[in-house]
């Protein structure tokens, strides 16, 4: 455990990390602390707007994100969002306000009703970005106490962490998570659909499409010999975990590939107790696969 | 392509629709579309669409307003942004899909599509509390669109609950009054 923190971030958990993705919250905080990054929760944050707001009203979508940006600006620190949806939502609002001053003006007019103003100085980061570029593979490696030798892990990025284009990684062939997994001593295995869509919220609205997409990517992972998947996205974890058996049944296949958050695997390698990382909250149990490392 | 009875000559096209789409942030580039189909080929859900993104784009430019706005395919966009990063003309396809969703909701073309109702349920929960509550969101959505879905998914819900992943109580932010005032103002300033 490091003696002191080398940097402080404003942690923006987002709604999912307080419910369906509790294990992501638990492991992100634990790993951040172990690596010496101080995560202070952005006080009184609100929902980022997800993909839903943008489909109904544009200005309310930008405003709901901008309130968080304004709160962060008062604190003068970078925001770090573990959820890919929050990351895209906040980042999109941030960039559009810069690009379209007339939208920015209206958003500020709305924010002023709550005594807030956003000048436009906040930087939005994703947790994967922070662990990759601020902490770095070398430093992660130094902190590893239990290397995960031989663990065949597939890195499932999903969409919104790499697209639209950003500074984190390549939009179609990302490999930052693989590098982190290597730093943890694991053996990452490439698979074709690692940056393809899980169906997102279509799993609720059009289940047939969601199941087909989940089946496709599990099949791709299975054929590559992957034993466990990791992801940086709550919705991906939820779809692949909770609907895995149903997708298998529909297509006459049997899948048994647990999916965890990438922070849970890093945490294990850092020697953090599995319970503190939320391991065991997944529906497709990772117990068998992780047994040799616990 | 079969001859369309509603469009006989150029003068029949409603070009104002193209202007509606062009004015949204990121929408101006739609006029650059070369109909190459990279967007449709990259789309994870286009296999089910009657009008894939490429079709929607030519219809926007041909002024087929109602046909585009009542299409269920608009709501099949998952926002995966694959088309967006691959478009050779740098058209912000996903953003245009969002714009279509908005125009279509505003004019009540979308009332029959489940994607619209999920977005609406999401907004009403967040506008009330400042945060989303996944349990309530799903209850609201399924009751409105397919009550049978509640029964169908109850086992998954139970499994999540047993693992501490399905909290029952909504969480309201502290400054909720100010939040609501902000959102009400944004609503009043909103043009689309």
Task: Please tell me whether residues B17 and B99 are part of one structural domain.
Answer: yes
pLDDT recorded at residue B191? 81
Question: Which residue on chain B is closest to A106 by alpha carbon?
Answer: B189
* Total domain count, chain B: 2
Confidence at B169, pLDDT banded by 50, 70, 90? confident
pLDDT value at residue A174: 96
Q: Are residues B31 and B66 in the same domain?
A: yes
Do A139 and A187 touch, CB atoms closer than 8 A?
no
Range of the domain at B140: 114-189
Are residues B102 and B150 both part of a single domain? Answer: no
Torsion of CA B172, B119, A262, A226, to 10 degrees: 150
Section B71-89 average pLDDT: 95
Predicted confidence at residue B56, as pLDDT, reads 96
CA nearest to A105, candidates A121, A89, A119: A119
B78/A63 CB distance under 8 A: no
Looking at residue B8, its pLDDT comes to 63
Beta bridge pairs of residue A38: A8
pLDDT at A249 over 90: yes
- pLDDT above 70: residue B139: yes
On whether both B30 and B56 belong to a single domain, the answer is: yes
Residues B118 and B137 in one domain: yes
CA-closest candidate to residue A280, choices B158, B164, B134, B153:
B164
Q: What contacts A247, CB < 8 A, 6 or more positions away?
A: A211, A212, A214, A215, A218, A255
Nearest-Cα residue of chain A relative to residue B125:
A47
Query: Looking at the structure, do residues B57 and B41 belong to the same domain, yes or no?
Result: yes
Average pLDDT, chain A: 95
Query: Which residues are registered as beta bridge partners of A229?
Result: A154, A259
| Residues B140 and B167 placed together within one structural domain of the fold | yes
- Interface contact A56-B159, CB threshold 8 A: no
Look at B97 and A4; give whichever has higher pLDDT.
B97
Whether residue B118 sits in one domain with residue B91: no
Pairwise CB contact (< 8 Å): B81 & A163: yes
* Final residue before a domain boundary, out of B106, B130, B150: B106
Are the C-beta atoms of residues A82 and A13 closer than 8 Å to each other? Answer: yes
pLDDT at B1 over 80: no
Query: Which residues lie across from A79 on neighbouring strands?
Result: A10, A124
**Mean pLDDT to the nearest integer, A91-110:** 95
Tell me how far apart the terminal alpha carbons of chain B are, to the nearest angstrom: 34
Residue B5 lies in a domain: no
CB A258 within 8 A of CB A282: yes
Structural domains of chain A, with CATH: 7-126 (1.20.1050.140), 146-293 (3.40.50.11810)
d(CA A145, CA A133): 21
Residues B86 and B118 in one domain: no
Lowest mean pLDDT, pick from A143-152, A258-267, B11-20, B33-42: B11-20
At residue A40, the pLDDT reads 97
Q: At what angle do helices B53-61 and B93-106 cross, to 10 degrees?
A: 70
Q: Please, which pLDDT band fits residue B13 given cuts at 50, 70 and 90?
A: confident
- Please list the residues that pair with A230 across neighbouring strands: A155, A260
CA A218, CA A25: separation in Å to the nearest integer?
25
Residue of A52, A195, A247 for testing the chain B interface, max B β-carbons within 10 Å: A52
The answer on B46 and B14 residing in a single domain is: yes
């Amino acid at each position: 455990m490091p003696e002191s923190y080398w940097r402080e971030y404003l942690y923006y958990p987002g709604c999912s990390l307080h419910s369906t993705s509790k294990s992501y919250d638990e492991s992100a905080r634990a790993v951040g602390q172990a690596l010496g990054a101080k995560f202070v929760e952005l006080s009184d944050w609100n929902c980022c707007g997800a993909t839903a707001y943008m489909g109904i009203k544009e200005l309310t979508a930008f405003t709901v994100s901008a309130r968080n940006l304004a709160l962060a600006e008062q604190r003068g620190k970078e925001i770090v969002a573990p959820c890919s949806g929050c990351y895209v939502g906040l980042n999109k609002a941030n960039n559009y306000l810069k690009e379209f001053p007339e939208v920015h003006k209206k958003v500020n007019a709305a924010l002023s009703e709550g005594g807030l103003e956003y000048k436009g100085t906040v930087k939005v980061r994703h947790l994967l970005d922070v662990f990759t570029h601020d902490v770095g593979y070398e430093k992660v490696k130094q902190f590893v106490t239990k290397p995960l030798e031989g663990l065949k892990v597939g890195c499932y990025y999903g969409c919104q962490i790499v697209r639209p284009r950003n500074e984190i990684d390549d939009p179609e062939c990302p490999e930052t998570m693989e590098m982190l997994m290597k730093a943890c001593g694991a053996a990452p295995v490439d698979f074709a659909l690692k940056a393809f869509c899980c169906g997102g919220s279509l799993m609720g609205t059009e289940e047939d499409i969601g199941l087909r997409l989940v089946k496709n990517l599990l099949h791709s992972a299975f054929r590559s010999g992957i034993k466990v998947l990791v992801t940086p996205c709550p919705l991906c974890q939820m779809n692949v975990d909770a609907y895995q058996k149903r997708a298998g049944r529909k297509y006459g296949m049997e899948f048994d590939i647990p999916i965890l958050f990438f922070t849970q695997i890093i945490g294990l390698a850092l020697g953090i107790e599995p319970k503190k990382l939320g391991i065991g909250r997944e529906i497709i149990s990772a117990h068998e696969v992780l047994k040799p490392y616990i | 392509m079969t001859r369309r009875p509603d469009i006989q000559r150029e003068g029949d096209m409603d070009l104002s629709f193209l202007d509606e789409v062009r004015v949204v942030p990121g929408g101006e580039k739609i006029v650059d579309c070369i109909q190459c189909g990279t967007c449709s080929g990259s789309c994870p859900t286009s296999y089910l669409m009657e009008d894939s993104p490429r079709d929607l784009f030519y219809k926007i430019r041909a002024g087929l307003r109602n046909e585009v706005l009542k299409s269920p395919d608009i709501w099949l966009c998952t926002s995966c942004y694959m088309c967006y990063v691959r478009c050779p003309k740098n058209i912000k396809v996903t953003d245009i899909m969002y714009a279509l969703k908005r125009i279509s909701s505003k004019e009540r073309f979308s009332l029959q599509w489940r994607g619209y109702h999920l977005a609406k349920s999401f907004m009403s929960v967040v506008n009330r509390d400042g945060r989303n509550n996944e349990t309530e969101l799903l209850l609201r959505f399924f009751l409105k669109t397919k009550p049978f879905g509640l029964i169908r998914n109850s086992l998954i819900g139970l499994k999540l609950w047993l693992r501490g992943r399905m909290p029952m109580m909504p969480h309201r932010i502290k400054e909720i009054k100010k939040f609501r005032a902000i959102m009400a103002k944004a609503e009043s300033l909103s043009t689309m």
